[in-house]
Structure 1
């Protein structure tokens, strides 16, 4: 059983703590957050210990692995400190807010020998993973076009948006990794950002965007994002190839459909948010992490994957700002 500490008792820390506590091969040992009440409350929910000083996590001999859910500027420092302490690492996205921070730490990152995995949980969603497996098996022939739709029910608080790094680093970065998961290397990015919500615009960010990615293979991915969706958390994927098309559709609480004099085939709304929609993905992500740590194998998502996703986010930001496509060398 892997003894795991969670750094960060915010929303994503709560997701990971709950996932660890319900996993038969994991134990939540410690929750760390500079806000004492937040750390103690989350730890107490699952019978774990809590602390405020992150150095206690790295020095604790009872901790085998660390899940990093701290603010993004601390991801690389916490990753490196955990690795130096011999702890395996599962780090949330993005790896940093700026590629300059990655470049400054490149030598240290390259020297890490402990298992390090990044939290691109979409890869582990059963539907998306099955679609990708079908592509790999040649079920639709050569993949030519990929469409990824990701719309949130509502925008996050403006205070969060101001420090998030922007929609491409915070939201689209999952879709960038999904596109690479299906298509491989991306050579060109063209993004159009939208200011549909003036409160978000005043915070300096786009609240919707459409991104086109061209892969080295010639395939093209289209990513559609929006911070608002009246019908719930809209998460869909379509992969089209020469010999067929794959669809991964939205998930609802039940499969019940209603037909009467007013509606035909009416269904329940989509699941409300990522906590519900990707619960299985977080569980399977944790299982993959535990398996890699215990078997001594390479985790399925790497530092290199995180770096490439950030590169795409920066390119999309540049493209949306200038109105021009950005070539990646």
Structure 2
């Protein structure tokens, strides 16, 4: 039995807590959050105790810590948990600065603990099926990846101000998908953006619409288009063009019912929020994490993957701000 602590009792902390208590061989012992009411509510729901970080890390029975707190706490918690010898699951991003994220990776390596970063899209059944079929050679050599990533609406402005910007907060998932699907690394990145949905986002020194082009070491191309406003729902799609064909991963809908009448053919709009869209992915990634801890296998989304995605996010931010292509180490 692995005793586990969840740090962060917000919406994603609640999702992870609910998924981990369903895992055989795991026990949610502690919940921690600066919002004591939220921590107590989540702890009560799952029969856990509320505790502060010092108590959690000092408890020898705790085998793993799930970090779902605000981004500005991630790096410190990763390094402290690693030093305490705990297995770590941490939501993205590792940190808002590349230097500190690299320091976290070094701390994890030195401690020899399992550390997984929450890039849940790799665990989405549809996306994972594309990856398997691509690896099996169904469309030959991949040549181009086109990613569409659009939210139904922007988060609150206070969140935007502390998020690190759209490239570190939102597109970081797409940068991870790019590396995973093409199994390649970027040599150059060009990003542009605008504020088209709400002027208060521009006042927060951010953008809500972006277009990114990446060239890889093997000469492959990736294009990512992103918006914080899609009136029709949560729009998450990508397609891979290969030498022998194309693979596409489409949106998920609440039901797959199609209505055909004399007037039109209609079906459900896409899922409305990421928590619904990636419901299965969140459960699968938590199961994968504990499988890796118990069986001492490599995690699919390592802290090194978190560092690489953040490197691309920083380069994209620089490209947008300086209106130029950024060259990366080959």
TM-score bracket, shorter-length normalisation? over 0.9
Matched residue, 2:91: 92
CA-CA distance at 1:109 after TM superposition: 4.0
| Structure 1 segments unaligned to the other structure (5+ residues) | none
Aligned residues: 327
Say which SS state the counterpart of residue 316 (structure 1) adopts. Answer: helix
CA-CA distance at 1:171 after TM superposition: 0.6
Matched residue, 2:139: 140
Please tell me whether the aligned partners of residues 105 and 304 of structure 2 are also in contact (alpha carbons under 8 angstroms).
Answer: no
Please tell me whether the aligned partners of residues 80 and 112 of structure 1 are also in contact (alpha carbons under 8 angstroms).
Answer: no
CA-CA distance at 1:56 after TM superposition: 1.5
Matched residue, 2:155: 156
Matched residue, 1:79: 78
CA-CA distance at 1:295 after TM superposition: 0.7
Supply the distance in 1 between the matched residues of 2:285 and 2:124 (Cα, whole angstroms).
9
| Structure 2 segments unaligned to the other structure (5+ residues) | none
CA-CA distance at 1:50 after TM superposition: 1.3
Please tell me whether the aligned partners of residues 67 and 91 of structure 1 are also in contact (alpha carbons under 8 angstroms).
Answer: yes
Matched residue, 1:48: 48
Which whole-Å deviations, capped at 9, do the CAs of 1:176-198 have from their partners, x for residues lacking one? Answer: 00100012211111111111121
Please tell me whether the aligned partners of residues 67 and 90 of structure 2 are also in contact (alpha carbons under 8 angstroms).
Answer: yes
Say which SS state the counterpart of residue 319 (structure 2) adopts. Answer: helix
CA-CA distance at 1:285 after TM superposition: 0.6
Aligned counterparts, 1:253-268, within 5 A:
253-264=254-265, 266-268=266-268
Supply the distance in 2 between the matched residues of 1:120 and 1:113 (Cα, whole angstroms).
21
CA-CA distance at 1:99 after TM superposition: 1.4
Say which SS state the counterpart of residue 255 (structure 2) adopts. Answer: coil
Matched residue, 1:318: 318
Matched residue, 2:205: 204
Which whole-Å deviations, capped at 9, do the CAs of 1:153-209 have from their partners, x for residues lacking one? Answer: 110000100000001001100110010001221111111111112121111111111
Please tell me whether the aligned partners of residues 186 and 215 of structure 1 are also in contact (alpha carbons under 8 angstroms).
Answer: yes
Aligned-residue CA RMSD in angstroms?
Answer: 1.4
Say which SS state the counterpart of residue 174 (structure 1) adopts. Answer: helix
CA-CA distance at 1:73 after TM superposition: 2.2
Give the TM-score of the pair, scaled to structure 2.
0.95
Please tell me whether the aligned partners of residues 79 and 107 of structure 2 are also in contact (alpha carbons under 8 angstroms).
Answer: yes
Please tell me whether the aligned partners of residues 91 and 119 of structure 1 are also in contact (alpha carbons under 8 angstroms).
Answer: yes
Q: Which moved more, 1:105-114 or 1:41-50?
A: 105-114
CA-CA distance at 1:79 after TM superposition: 0.8
CA-CA distance at 1:81 after TM superposition: 1.1
Give the TM-score of the pair, scaled to structure 1.
0.96
Say which SS state the counterpart of residue 231 (structure 1) adopts. Answer: coil
CA-CA distance at 1:108 after TM superposition: 2.8
Structure 2 CA distance for partners of 1:106 and 1:26, relative to 1, 3 Å: closer
Please tell me whether the aligned partners of residues 97 and 165 of structure 1 are also in contact (alpha carbons under 8 angstroms).
Answer: yes
The reply on whether 1:224 has 2:244 as its aligned counterpart is no
Please tell me whether the aligned partners of residues 192 and 320 of structure 1 are also in contact (alpha carbons under 8 angstroms).
Answer: yes
Matched residue, 1:171: 170
CA-CA distance at 1:90 after TM superposition: 0.6
Please tell me whether the aligned partners of residues 87 and 293 of structure 2 are also in contact (alpha carbons under 8 angstroms).
Answer: yes
CA-CA distance at 1:63 after TM superposition: 1.8
Which whole-Å deviations, capped at 9, do the CAs of 1:22-69 have from their partners, x for residues lacking one? Answer: 333433221100111010011112221112x21121112332101111
Say which SS state the counterpart of residue 165 (structure 1) adopts. Answer: coil
Please tell me whether the aligned partners of residues 189 and 212 of structure 2 are also in contact (alpha carbons under 8 angstroms).
Answer: yes
Aligned counterparts, 1:1-329, within 5 A:
1-51=1-51, 53-103=52-102, 107-183=106-182, 184-196=184-196, 197-264=198-265, 266-329=266-329
Please tell me whether the aligned partners of residues 23 and 283 of structure 1 are also in contact (alpha carbons under 8 angstroms).
Answer: no
